[in-house]
Chains A and B, each alone.
Chain A
Amino acid sequence: VEYVAAHGGSDDRENDRPRRWPARVYGVGTEPDPRFTLANERTFLAWLRTSLALMAAGVGIAAVGIDGRPILRYVIAIALLLAGVACSVAAFGLWMATERALRMGRPLPSPRLAPLLGYGLALVGVLTLILLLAP
């Protein structure tokens, strides 16, 4: 709020517009270029769709009838589902952090989950290969 006052920002309250949620995002800084806000929203949706895909893969691995190594199948399924949940929660956190950064003219946050997800999926791929080739 101090930041807004200092920068003479276009906070919703000042302009007599409906307050937007969350205040953590809309209470700071000034309105950015709407193209950046919409690009941030699309990135959030892409992360959320990724989380749905991870969950679908997890349930699929658990449900498809592959003989042998039930423990390995179980581990892969749980890992994918947990990655999906983490991905969905991180998606909203990243959306908030990015929108805040845009409003305050700061550098954008880096998606810390991305490298973890990349290497994790590579590992899941190798484990799935073992599951399929060495029953």
Chain B
Amino acid sequence: MTEDTGREEPKPRATDRGLAPERTALAWLRMALSLLVVMLVLARFVAHLNVVLAVAAAGLAIPLSATVGVAAWQRFMRAARGFNAGGQLPDGVLPAALTALAALMGVVGIGYVLLA
């Protein structure tokens, strides 16, 4: 028995292009979390070698991953606008910056293994 209660399930509109911006924003947030965790783990191990360096790395990890989180949100807003209104999608500056940061972390890791 169906009764019209005036409440309907939301239906995807014909113009709806899907949830790609949302999935991308979640991928960026996972990236921020991974960055935080790996940087803190790295800092923990570096503490065996040099406590000051480790504290500095841990202190840097929190604002850096927070910045990635904020940037993820801004990118999402921009991507959603570009997606629905034909605007510009975000460019390659943040991907390049994160790549450089990840490579730097790898080098720090190699330094730790060589010195430990």
Using a CB–CB cutoff of 8 Å, the interface residues on chain A facing chain B are 12, 17-18, 20-22, 25-26, 34-35, 37-39, 41-42, 44-46, 48-49, 51-53, 55-56, 58-60, 62-63, 74, 77-78, 81-82, 84-85, 88-89, 91-92, 95-96, 99
Contact = CB atoms under 8 A, between A and B. Distances in A.
Given A44-B95, A95-B92, A95-B95, A62 B112 contact: yes
Nearest to A46: B27
A49 B31 contact: yes
B99 A48 contact: yes
Given A52-B34, A55-B38, A34 B83 contact: yes
Nearest to B83: A34
Contacts of B79: 34, 38
A99 B79 CA distance: 15
A55 B20 contact: no
A49 B21 contact: no
Q: Is the interface of B mostly helix, strand, loop or mixed?
A: helix
B91 A26 contact: yes
Interface string B43-63: 001001000000000000000
A45 B99 contact: no
A48 B31 contact: yes
Contact of A20 (B34, B37, B83, B88): B88
Given A17-B88, A59-B41, A95-B92, A42 B27 contact: yes
Given A48-B98, A85-B110, 12 more contacts: A21-B91, A21-B92, A21-B93, A21-B96, A26-B91, A34-B83, A45-B28, A48-B99, A49-B31, A55-B109, A59-B45, A62-B45
A84 B106 contact: yes
A20 B110 contact: no
Given A38-B21, A44-B95, A52-B34, A59 B102 contact: no
B92 A52 contact: no
